[in-house]
A and B are shown apart, each in its own frame.
Chain A
Amino acid sequence: MGGVDVGGGGGKRKNLDSEINMIPMIDLLMVTISFLLITAVWTQMARINADAQVPGPPRPDVEQEKVEPEKQLHVMMQGDDKFVLVWKQGSTTVDSIDVPRKDVITQQGAVQVVRYPDLAAKIETEWKAKGQHTNPTDRKQDQAILHTDNKTEFKYIIGVIDAIYAPQRDMNFGAKTDKFPAFNITFAVN
């Protein structure tokens, strides 16, 4: 038996010392541990963000400013042997780079994990050289547009999106600075 001594108890007052029975206490701790272990979530689900780039409703009352279109990175994954990275500003092609396609596929249970480390490295180099939103106070991200054919399986698409999300930059949220993906991704409609 364990006891809790709170001192005192002198004179005629009731003794404040109480005893804790160790056996039920250890039982309670064991049951709590078992419950928490059984209900624990061991798989870590997460998400990869994409933006459909839907324009808002037209505002006839607001005069539209003529804004120079931003550079966008188009990632073409139609070929079996290479990716093509194209920087476009409006309809003008600024630069085009071929990246050899090397699928790094690992089997994890029933799931095939597809990764493109070479593509990720090239995209990071490109973003450092040509990215427009690099300042931590800038909440806007550079835009990447993914072009894929209709037959490509989803795991390869996720592999490419994962590579596009590899370059990360600091972004200020009030007094706090967080790492955030440098690119925002959307799909090409065609």
Chain B
Amino acid sequence: MPVHEPGRSLMRHVGLEFVAKKVSGGGHRNTNANLSLTSMIDFLVVTVVFLLMTFSASGETPVAKGLNMPKAENVLDMMDAPMVAVVGSQILVDGSPAGNSRAVEESDRMQRIDELFNILKAKRELWKQTHPNKDFPGVVILQIDQNIKAVVVKSVFQTAAFAGFPNVSFMVDRIPHTGGSHG
């Protein structure tokens, strides 16, 4: 049997008459629309360029799981520094456990957290060994849950300072300025 090129006659054999009508125009407006290739490619190229410009190769700053970060308006840009996270009563330094804040909460007294102190001090020493001719920046970023009590915040802050990290920054979620000079 010879092979025929499928043509309009094929549609007549298909039972879907409304499809045949639609495809052939059938008295209604044609459902096929012409797309200008030049405009489409222009649009795609502009989108690619925009996304490439806003792309961050360093990725998202790692935020500890289960942490509700507070939000603030008057903030500074993030920087690369060791991260100390306080989630519940657990303390993490760059994702690794670094002590517990339960003792501080129970005593309700500001105190040095020894495990955190030792880990931060070791980080400082390591930095000094790897950068022998540079001044140590002493920057640490604290990721603290919004419901953590001030006694824990101050204890972690002071522990970091004692360990040689006096420039402490609190990580927050940036929110846009609301109306007025102060919102």
A residues at B contact (CB < 8 Å): 2, 22, 25-26, 29-30, 32-33, 36-37, 39-41, 43-54, 108, 110-115, 117, 120-121, 124, 148-155, 157-159, 161-163, 165-166, 168, 181, 187, 189
Contacts and interface: CB of A to CB of B under 8 A. Distances in A.
- Dominant SS among interface residues on chain B: mixed
A173 B154 CA distance: 32
Contacts of A39: 55, 59
A150 B151 contact: yes
Contacts of B79: 47
B44 A33 contact: yes
Nearest to A109: B68
A153 B150 contact: yes
Interface of B: 37, 40-41, 44-45, 47-48, 51-52, 54-56, 59-61, 63, 68-79, 108-110, 141, 144-151, 153-154, 157-158, 160-161, 166-175, 178, 180-183
Contact of B168 (A41, A52, A189): A52
A148 B154 CA distance: 10
A148 to B, nearest CB: 5
A82 to B, nearest CB: 18
20 contacts: A25-B41, A44-B173, A45-B171, A46-B172, A47-B75, A47-B77, A47-B79, A48-B76, A49-B168, A50-B169, A108-B71, A120-B183, A150-B108, A150-B110, A151-B151, A153-B146, A153-B148, A154-B144, A159-B70, A187-B154
A153 B154 CA distance: 11
Contact of A52 (B149, B157, B174, B183): B157
Nearest to A104: B183
Given A29-B44, A155-B146, A165-B74, A52 B180 contact: no
Contacts of B68: 110-111
Contacts of B170: 47-48, 50, 158, 161
- Dominant SS among interface residues on chain A: mixed
Rank and list the top 7 A-B pairs by shortest CB-CB distance, nearest first. Answer: A52-B161, A36-B51, A46-B75, A150-B151, A165-B74, A47-B169, A120-B182
B44 A166 contact: no
A44 B75 CA distance: 11
A40 B54 CA distance: 8
A29 B169 CA distance: 40
Given A41-B59, A47-B76, A168-B74, A26 B44 contact: yes
A26 B77 CA distance: 36
B74 A36 contact: no
